[in-house]
């Protein structure tokens, strides 16, 4: 299963669901770096150092960092979905579809109604 790092705005219920699906998820809260105004660059650098794919709802900023060629282990740029279980299953499916996420941005979109 995948090694993931969720940034501060990522829903903790989705993290819990991903863990139930067998993924190794580390949260920014667990690193003691929450509520410290850590820059997006630092968040991405930490996830890369830890070889963890970044989970974020902050799509625009992290895609911008990707386009600047900042090194990373992968970015899952997600659209918020209040159905946390379905949200986690879409992430799980995307993770199972690929082997290598290094230097890639994968968009996880909420289904259209």
33 burial via Cβ count (<10 Å: 0-12, 13-18, 19+): middle
Question: What are the angstrom distances between the C-alpha of 95 and each of 22, 32, 70?
Answer: 12, 26, 21
pLDDT at 71: 86
User: Domain residue spans in the chain?
Assistant: 3-108
Which tens digits make up the pLDDT trace of 13-59?
999 999 999 999 999 999 988 778 889 999 999 999 999 999 999 99
CATH code, residues 3-108: 3.40.50
Q: Which residues pair with 69 in a beta bridge?
A: none
pLDDT at 33: 83
Token code pair at residue 22: 């067998």
pLDDT at 38: 86
Measured CA to CA, the distance from residue 23 to residue 19 in angstroms comes to 5
pLDDT at 113: 65
pLDDT at 70: 77
pLDDT at 58: 93
Kind of pairing, strands 53-56 and 75-78?
Answer: parallel
Which tens digits make up the pLDDT trace of 69-87?
878 999 999 999 999 999 9
Q: Which residues contact 102 (CB under 8 A, 6 or more apart)?
A: 72, 73, 74
Question: What are the angstrom distances between the C-alpha of 74 and each of 11, 65, 106?
Answer: 19, 12, 8
3-state secondary structure of 9: coil
């Amino acid at each position: 299963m995948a090694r993931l790092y969720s940034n501060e705005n990522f829903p903790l219920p989705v993290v819990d669901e991903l863990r139930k699906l067998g993924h190794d998820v580390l949260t920014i809260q667990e690193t003691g770096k929450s509520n410290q105004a850590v820059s997006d660059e630092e968040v991405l650098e930490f996830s890369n150092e830890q070889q963890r794919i970044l989970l974020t709802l902050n799509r625009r900023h992290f895609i911008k960092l990707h386009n600047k060629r900042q090194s990373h282990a992968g970015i899952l740029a997600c659209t918020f979905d209040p159905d946390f279980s379905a949200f986690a299953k879409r992430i799980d499916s995307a993770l199972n579809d690929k082997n290598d996420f290094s230097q890639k941005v994968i968009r996880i979109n909420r289904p259209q109604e």
